[in-house]
Amino acid sequence: MIYDISYTALAFFFVFVSLVIGLSFYFGRKKSNSSSYYAAGGQIHWAVNGIAFAGDYLSAASFLGICGMIAVSGFDGFLYAIGFIAGWIVALFLIAEPFKRLGKFTFTDALNAKYNSRAITLSASVGTLIISIFYLIPQMVGAGDLVMPLLGLPHWAGVILVGTIVIIIVASAGMASTTYVQFLKGGLLIILSTVLTIYILKNGLNSTPEFEGKPYHSFIHLKPQVNGDKIVSVPDWEVIGQQSVGKKTFVKLSSAGVERWFDWTVKDGNHLLSETLTITQKADGEKLYNGEVKENRKFYQVGHLSKIIVNGQELDKTGPLGPFEFLSTIKESDIVRFLQVKVVDGTDQVAIYYPEVTSGEKFMLPGLKYKIGSDASLWSKMDFVSLMLALFLGTAALPHILIRYYTVKTPRDARKSTILAIAAIGGFYILTLFIGLGAGVNGVMDVESSNMAAPLLARAFGAVLFSVISAVAFATVLGTVAGLIVASSGAIAHDFIDVYLKKNLDDENKVKVGKIAAVLVGIFAIVLGMAFKGINVSFLVGWAFAIAASSNLPAILFLLFWKRTSATGISASIIVGIVVSLAIILTSPTMWDKYGLGAENAIHQLENPALISFPLAVLTVYFVSILYPKKAE
Amino acid sequence: MHVNSTIEEKESVTKQKSSLGVRLFFIYSIFYVGFVILGVFHYELLSNTIFGGLNLAVVYGISLILFAFLLGVIYDYYCTRYEDQAEMEDQLNIGKTL
């Protein structure tokens, strides 16, 4: 999309980032030992901790990813919200208090509390590091996306900016600062999402959504002369050529020296050419938007309702709607989504975004992304089950979530924090349904990246709302990345160097090593954030959840609920969980596509590994514990 | 290296809380798995309008979110009661010894 710098947003952004850094330096001055660096000294109030939990959890994947996926794929985006919240049930009912009672401060320590095994230390710290990195990638990708409209900077610049700020925060202060930053951010995110939802409902639905006097682009429809499977002529346009991709045919026309692509459809025997959006990458490096240079501003934000039905009557627009009315009206109406295909036209690479009318009924059901209906393949049904399993079991096993159990004084406080977090996160997720749908039908979508759905919708309602939401979304990324880097540096400095390598560092050195590790992980995250540009943020997070569910959760559950669990069983299960889930991810259709080998040629069609890797890890911890029982350790 | 000292808690209270947690977890799991099974095996049912013009998919999804919170509150209520009861018993015992 073509973005301009927003100076209001810029001002808010700097105020916010300065506040965040200022806060961390303020708390950083107070910290003195390793426990305050890693776990804020166990002195955080439960209510602050609860909202900070929500702040941690409502990462780029939630705010940017879920809203974006709902806007593009309807209910399938909401599946993530359902799975994310269900994961808290596992965390609260099975893990929270027993872990708190173990009284350790990294995931590895807690897992190893009863065994003191070096194998557990090593496998768990490697697991923590891999999960954190997989969770870091989408945050960094989201940061890059966010900075483009906010500051008018390219994607890579956003990634470097976030990485650098977080390294400064973490290296200067540690967990105390990140808890308060997360508290502030979590609270603001919920308030602002509520405001945005009120705006959406008040605004109602309009088949030609207009904001701030800017009319929605009126898409051109042409009636061609057809001979067999060829377009012969089109009034006022010159026919240049046509290309078929699967069942679709796209026609290239020219008018006044500008070449445009149209989507050829046949309805009731009538041929119709509908305007598409295109980005053409010329061989000489020039990029054309809808056949013209960027400065001509011929590339539009899209997504609208082609038909609005209220109580059986077709309307052009509705007035303000109640929440149920809003959802049911979308269900009865037709949504125009823009889907992407890529074609090679001579030496040009052309990305075509064509309009696809989807009934509201389909849009409000699962199936647009994860096909699960009667015509779906076994692979795609397995994928759906696998995703739901990963989301359910992954939350409790994420290292940066677990670490917050230790930042309050008592198990009672940890419990209250978690319930407050469920309320805050659950409320937020219900709002994402409105924000996502609102973005999908209000003509604000950027066809290149769905991640910007929520901030762009806010921009339609006014620069101030956009600025504040973008700044908070940026802080969301900052806070989550900071939490993940603290967890990773803990895994390296504390688990690996101090405990596994038995360096017995004193308190001061432990903090120093932790900070060096934080800087290194931060740099690594920057590099990965640039490498994974363009991959869906929520989708990437699904992988992190699957790895966490497979490597950590079987180990935790067996440790807490089966007395015969042995140290060898735990470490073997962690290793199997990591290796199998990574192997499935690295051979998945998405990665095959990334390698340039074509998704359809992948050796299997499973995108999410949990359905296979989680049961395997469970079997491993069970059988290895029987084969190598505790006494032998 | 511990951040906070572990709080002394009666074994019986820990067991009560733990078994309550496991039971509530299974109750929630039944509903969650129900949603997944419905999606995979009876997909068409999800499109049925339930109330307020909303289909089963939306109603079920939002209900799962609200249900998580409700179970959380129930869990906290009973855990706090177990803890308070144990504390009261302790105080009574101390009273008797005095």
For residue A487, name the pLDDT band (cuts at 50, 70, 90).
confident
What gap in Å lies between CA A451 and CA A453, rounded to an integer?
Answer: 6
Residue B32 has pLDDT above 70, yes or no: yes
Report pLDDT for B2. Answer: 37
pLDDT digits (tens, 9 = 90+) for A426-463: 999 999 999 999 999 998 888 887 888 888 898 888 87
Report pLDDT for A95. Answer: 83
Asked whether the beta carbons of residue A372 and residue B72 sit closer than 8 angstroms, the reply is no
User: B34 touching A, CB under 8 A?
Assistant: no
Residue A632 has pLDDT above 80, yes or no: no
User: B8 touching A, CB under 8 A?
Assistant: no
Q: Which residue has the higher pLDDT, A401 or A135?
A: A135
DSSP B7: P
Asked whether the beta carbons of residue A373 and residue B55 sit closer than 8 angstroms, the reply is no
Q: How far is B24 from chain A (nearest CA, A)?
A: 7
What gap in Å lies between CA A497 and CA A491, rounded to an integer?
Answer: 9
Residue A35 has pLDDT above 60, yes or no: no
The secondary structure element, H or E, covering residue A336 is strand A334-345
Count of positions (residues) in chain B: 98
Asked whether the beta carbons of residue A93 and residue B73 sit closer than 8 angstroms, the reply is no
Give the highest mean pLDDT range of A99-108, A351-360, A459-468.
A351-360
How would you class A198 by CB atoms within 10 Å of its CB: exposed for 0-12, middle for 13-18, buried for 19 or more? middle
User: B59 touching A, CB under 8 A?
Assistant: no
Helix ranges (DSSP H) in A284-410:
323-332, 360-363, 378-394, 399-402
Asked whether the beta carbons of residue B44 and residue A85 sit closer than 8 angstroms, the reply is no
Q: Which residue has the higher pLDDT, A21 or A188?
A: A188
pLDDT digits (tens, 9 = 90+) for A300-321: 888 899 889 988 888 888 989 9
- Provide mean pLDDT across the span A514-535: 84
Report pLDDT for A570. Answer: 92
Asked whether the beta carbons of residue B47 and residue A365 sit closer than 8 angstroms, the reply is yes
User: B35 touching A, CB under 8 A?
Assistant: yes
Report pLDDT for B6. Answer: 43
Report pLDDT for A49. Answer: 83
DSSP secondary structure, A228-286, as one string: TTEEEEBTTBEEEEEEEETTEEEEEEEETTEEEEEEEEEETTEEEEEE-EEEEE-TTS-
Taking CA atoms, A286 is separated from A294, A331, B26, in Å, by 10, 42, 58
Q: How far is B89 from chain A (nearest CA, A)?
A: 18
Of A16-30, A480-494, A512-526, A590-604, the least confident: A16-30
Taking CA atoms, A522 is separated from A216, A342, A456, A515, in Å, by 41, 34, 28, 10
pTM: 0.88
Instruction: Point out the residue among A109, A328, A426 whose CB comes nearest to the CB of B66.
Output: A426
pLDDT digits (tens, 9 = 90+) for A169-179: 777 655 455 67
Asked whether the beta carbons of residue A39 and residue B69 sit closer than 8 angstroms, the reply is no
Of all residues in chain A, the percent with pLDDT exceeding 70 is: 92
User: B83 touching A, CB under 8 A?
Assistant: yes
User: B43 touching A, CB under 8 A?
Assistant: yes
User: B5 touching A, CB under 8 A?
Assistant: yes
CB pairs under 8 A between A and B: 159
Are A443 and A216 contacting, i.e. CB atoms less than 8 angstroms apart?
Answer: yes
Taking CA atoms, A540 is separated from A48, A61, A138, A418, A534, in Å, by 29, 8, 6, 25, 11
Residue A501 has pLDDT above 80, yes or no: no
What gap in Å lies between CA A171 and CA A315, rounded to an integer?
Answer: 57
Report pLDDT for A25. Answer: 66
What gap in Å lies between CA B79 and CA A418, rounded to an integer?
Answer: 13
- Chain A residues with CB under 8 Å of B11 CB are none
- Provide mean pLDDT across the span A503-530: 82
Backbone angles phi, psi at A333, to 5 degrees: -95, 180
Report pLDDT for A405. Answer: 67
Of A9-13, A135-139, A265-269, A296-300, the least confident: A9-13
Report pLDDT for A633. Answer: 43
- Provide mean pLDDT across the span B49-73: 92
Mention every residue, 6+ apart, whose C-beta is less than 8 A from residue A579. none
Backbone angles phi, psi at B42, to 5 degrees: -130, 55
Q: How far is B90 from chain A (nearest CA, A)?
A: 18
What gap in Å lies between CA A229 and CA A85, rounded to an integer?
Answer: 51
Is the ipTM reported for this complex over the cut 0.85?
A: yes
- Provide mean pLDDT across the span A263-271: 90
Residue of A609, A568, A611 whose CA lies nearest to A591? A609
Asked whether the beta carbons of residue B44 and residue A374 sit closer than 8 angstroms, the reply is yes
Residue A625 has pLDDT above 90, yes or no: yes
Report pLDDT for A563. Answer: 87
User: B36 touching A, CB under 8 A?
Assistant: yes
What gap in Å lies between CA B68 and CA B88, rounded to an integer?
Answer: 30
- Chain B residues with CB under 8 Å of A499 CB are none
User: B71 touching A, CB under 8 A?
Assistant: yes
Q: Which two tokens stand for residue A430?
A: 């219900």
Of A122-126, A173-177, A262-266, B67-71, the least confident: A173-177
pLDDT digits (tens, 9 = 90+) for A357-411: 999 999 999 888 888 877 788 888 899 999 999 999 998 888 767 667 666 777 7
Instruction: Point out the residue among B1, B21, B61 whose CB comes nearest to the CB of A78.
Output: B61
User: B19 touching A, CB under 8 A?
Assistant: no
Asked whether the beta carbons of residue B79 and residue A412 sit closer than 8 angstroms, the reply is yes
Region for residue A16 given its phi and psi (left: phi exceeds 0; alpha: psi -120 to 50; beta: otherwise) = alpha
Asked whether the beta carbons of residue A422 and residue B69 sit closer than 8 angstroms, the reply is yes
Mean pLDDT over all residues of chain A? 84
Mean pLDDT over all residues of chain B? 85
Residue A123 has pLDDT above 80, yes or no: yes
For residue A580, name the pLDDT band (cuts at 50, 70, 90).
very high
Count of positions (residues) in chain A: 633
- Chain A residues with CB under 8 Å of B80 CB are 412
Residue A205 has pLDDT above 60, yes or no: yes
Q: Which two tokens stand for residue B66?
A: 């609200």
Report pLDDT for B4. Answer: 40
- Provide mean pLDDT across the span A65-70: 91
Of all residues in chain B, the percent with pLDDT exceeding 70 is: 88
The secondary structure element, H or E, covering residue B50 is strand B49-51
Instruction: Point out the residue among A92, A406, A430 whose CB comes nearest to the CB of B4.
Output: A406
Residue A328 has pLDDT above 50, yes or no: yes
- Provide mean pLDDT across the span A98-117: 73
Residue A133 has pLDDT above 80, yes or no: yes
Q: Which residue has the higher pLDDT, A558 or A374?
A: A558
For residue A508, name the pLDDT band (cuts at 50, 70, 90).
confident
- Chain A residues with CB under 8 Å of B72 CB are 88-89, 92, 418-419, 422-423
Report pLDDT for A42. Answer: 56
Residue A265 has pLDDT above 70, yes or no: yes
Nearest CA in chain B to A86: B68
Q: Which residue has the higher pLDDT, A516 or A111?
A: A516
